[in-house]
A = this chain, B = another copy of it.
Amino acid sequence: MTKSVRVALVGLGNVGRSFLALMAEKATLLREQYGLELRLTAAADSSGAVMTESGIDPTALRLHKERGGRTGDFLGGVPGMSARKLVAQAPADLLLEASPVNLQTGQPGLDCVRTAIRRGMHVVLANKGPLVHAFGELTQAAAEAGVGLAYSATVCGALPVVNIGRRDLAGCTIRSVRGIFNATSNSILTAMARGQSYADALRQAQLEGVAEADPRLDVEGWDTANKLVIIANSILCQPATLADVTAVVGITGITAEQIRDGAAQGQVVKLVATAERDVGGYRLAVRPEWLPADSFLAQVNGFEMGIVFETDIMGLQMYKVEERGPVPTAGAILRDVINIMRGSQI
């Protein structure tokens, strides 16, 4: 018995296109192992949108985009049609929101998610914007509408940080969270430690396709802060927005000389997000920290990301992932879809 799921995809950047590739590559596995058939019935990017109940070939759309085509110009597409309008009309059971993060307002992703929930669609987010701006509103709306809302792709790509925190640390008191959440910044610091220049290292990260559309989000700490805000809301049950992160300091002030001096003293600099438990709740901060070279986070290198949870009854838990390019984040979207459809999403 195969369950067919009509999917609307908003955002056809690196992650969105990787998801289109997975829809084709993983079709057999999804059917055989999970009894799922994903059908793309709607897609939008900033150029326009396309939708059809009979289904869009994900490979054809991906190739169209990769050849420089615009979604509005794809067969059956409507140039200039907005994502908001698409989501309001699309014949879809599930919205995948993978458009670029908007730090100021979370739009237009936020409105798309609101509309999808109101229409009874499940929602899977790779875009952090809507969560950072309206976590409480969206999770409550989804609960009331009885739809799934999953976002494991928003923190550390394929590393299931959100899911571990929400499901596997249930029953714990989390004393602190410390993590390296931005692969671009981390790869730059690792490359600088090996003698590369800041500019060359940034260019390399952009070539890898892991840098945000606007790399200032990466190197100035805002992408890390976004992820910390999502962790605070979803795992630590502390309502928070970016305004609650007491310090957001990036890596742009770190010099090659500082890195050399640190190394001589057995220290490594990392861009670390921290949530420390205090009387009034968790104190949230993002800033470069000098760590002993043999510590766990100091050994999260290059394009790796990692996290350490200090708990009361489940020990010290340490996780890291070595992943390249946008595919793992698309993989995280896929697992969220599978888990929503089999009813096992928390």
Contacts and interface: CB of A to CB of B under 8 A. Distances in A.
A267 interface: no
A314 B323 CA distance: 7
Given A299-B299, A316-B323, A339 B167 contact: yes
A315 B323 contact: yes
Given A30-B171, A163-B167, A168-B160, A321 B330 contact: no
Contacts of A29: 171, 173
A315 B322 contact: yes
A183 to B, nearest CB: 11
A324 B315 contact: yes
A148 to B, nearest CB: 11
A247 interface: no
B327 A313 contact: yes
Contact of A171 (B26, B167, B299, B311): B26
B318 A321 contact: yes
Interface in A331-346: 331-332, 334-335, 338-339, 342-346
Nearest to A159: B317
A254 interface: no
Given A164-B168, A318-B321, A335-B170, A328 B346 contact: no
A152 interface: yes
Contacts of A168: 152, 160, 163-164, 335
A133 interface: no
Nearest to A21: B313
B335 A167 contact: yes
A74 interface: no
Given A157-B315, A159-B317, A173-B29, A167 B344 contact: yes
B327 A316 contact: no
A294 to B, nearest CB: 8
Contact of A314 (B328, B339, B342): B328
Contacts of A26: 171, 313
Contacts of A331: 171-172, 311, 313-314
B163 A334 contact: no
Interface of A: 22, 26, 29-30, 33-34, 152, 157-160, 163-164, 167-173, 237, 296, 299, 311, 313-324, 327-328, 330-332, 334-335, 338-339, 342-346
24 contacts: A22-B313, A26-B313, A29-B171, A30-B171, A34-B170, A158-B314, A159-B315, A159-B317, A164-B164, A164-B168, A167-B339, A167-B344, A170-B334, A171-B334, A313-B330, A313-B331, A314-B321, A314-B328, A314-B332, A315-B321, A318-B319, A319-B319, A343-B343, A344-B346
